Amino acid sequence: MNCSSKEEEIYTPIPYNLEIPTLFTDKLIAPIIPTNNPLTVEGIALGKKLFFDTILSGDETQSCASCHNPTNAFTDDAQFSNGIDGDFGTRNSMPLFNLAWNFDERFAWDGKEFSLENQALEPVSNPTEMNSDWKTVIEKLQNHTEYPTLFLQAFGTLTIDSTLVTKAIAQYERTLISGNSKFDQFLLGETTLTSEEQNGFDIFMDEARGDCFHCHGSNNNPLWTDNAFHNNGLDSNFSDLGLGAITGDPADNGKFKSPSIRNLAFTAPYMHDGRFATLEEVINHYSEGLQPSSTIDPLMKKVNQGGVNLSSKDKADLKAFLLTLSDFDFINNTDFKE
């Protein structure tokens, strides 16, 4: 029997069960946990360490958390994030929470990554992000004083590779659950809404006014997103094809993933290109700013009038409702932080 066989016998990672909010268990189907990457205490701890470790970047100045800051619901406050060489990407950094309930497992604004594990591969070698390469990263991890042991405990092997690194990061990311906002508490009967917040929710759910619920969930879908791809009328001509660049189907041009409307208080700026600095700008866009195009979603109503033309009062109330989905416990959760 060789050494690694002995080691595999010694370390058995402890299975970990997600702490799922009541509303999620009541309303949603089970989260996606791949059978080849079950959650373990050791795997999650390793993923968390890797997520915050600058060792993954070329010059060891950036970690995943540089663009996915817990305080900002795991995004950042920049329109475009800059990489280690000061280069900027072309998309706004996406917030990270409730990722295990992305049932189609298509990640990123354009859906180019299938599975959380695959998603974690790309930023390391992307020249406008961490600008490293996996061979170098693996060598550094393998020669590190702690990591080989941590991989052994998490995965039963001292031999580190990119697959195991991304598995660990994905395990950690699946624990990032946000489900304790004021509106969640309202649904559980633990608090009440102001009249403005209630009116804002009614606008959100009213097909004749906001009609937000068709793409952004409802009290019965606490994800507050359909995780699908839509052209929400940002542009008549596309400088970024979004999903269309991935599928090659012109009918997908200008389509981007609907983000969750949880935690908007922490995730400005908004849209795939971070063009809107405030929630007021976002609401104004849907109210008066829709731009026609061949692929605009049919759910974008009254496009020739610019949108649904909400009153100033309705806009303010809609914003008030949206802010009830701010989950301060989530952004302050020390379990999620370095």
What is the contact surface with another protein in residues (CB under 8 A)?
Answer: 26-29, 101, 103, 202, 205-208, 211, 213-215, 217-221, 223, 226, 251, 292, 294-304
Nearer to another protein, 89 or 259 (CB): 259
Nearer to another protein, 103 or 134 (CB): 103
DSSP annotation string for 162-222: HHHHHHHHHHHHHT-----SHHHHHHTTSS---HHHHHHHHHHH-TTTT--HHHH-BTTBT
- What does the CA dihedral 120, 334, 192, 194 come to, rounded to 10 degrees? -70
Nearer to another protein, 206 or 288 (CB): 206
Least distance in angstroms from the C-beta of 190 to another protein: 18
Per-residue burial over 144-181, b = 16 or more CB atoms within 10 Å of its CB, e = otherwise: eeebbebbbbbbbeeebebebbbbbbbbbbbbbbbbbb
Query: Between β-strands 229-230 and 113-114, what pairing exists: parallel, antiparallel or unpaired?
Result: unpaired
Least distance in angstroms from the C-beta of 213 to another protein: 6
Least distance in angstroms from the C-beta of 133 to another protein: 37
Q: Tokens standing for 89? A: 């990407």
Nearer to another protein, 3 or 208 (CB): 208
Nearer to another protein, 9 or 207 (CB): 207
Question: Length of the chain in residues, anyone?
Answer: 338
Least distance in angstroms from the C-beta of 168 to another protein: 27
Nearer to another protein, 62 or 231 (CB): 231
Element (H, E) at 43: helix 41-51
Handedness of CA 224, 71, 232, 89 (dihedral sign): negative
Least distance in angstroms from the C-beta of 332 to another protein: 28
Half-sphere exposure of 291 (CA within 13 A, CB side): 8
Nearer to another protein, 153 or 295 (CB): 295
User: Who contacts 239 (Cβ-Cβ below 8 Å, separation ≥6)?
Assistant: none
Least distance in angstroms from the C-beta of 28 to another protein: 5
Peptide bond into 70 cis (omega under 30): no
Q: Check if the beta carbon of residue 77 is closer than 8 Å to that of residue 68.
A: no
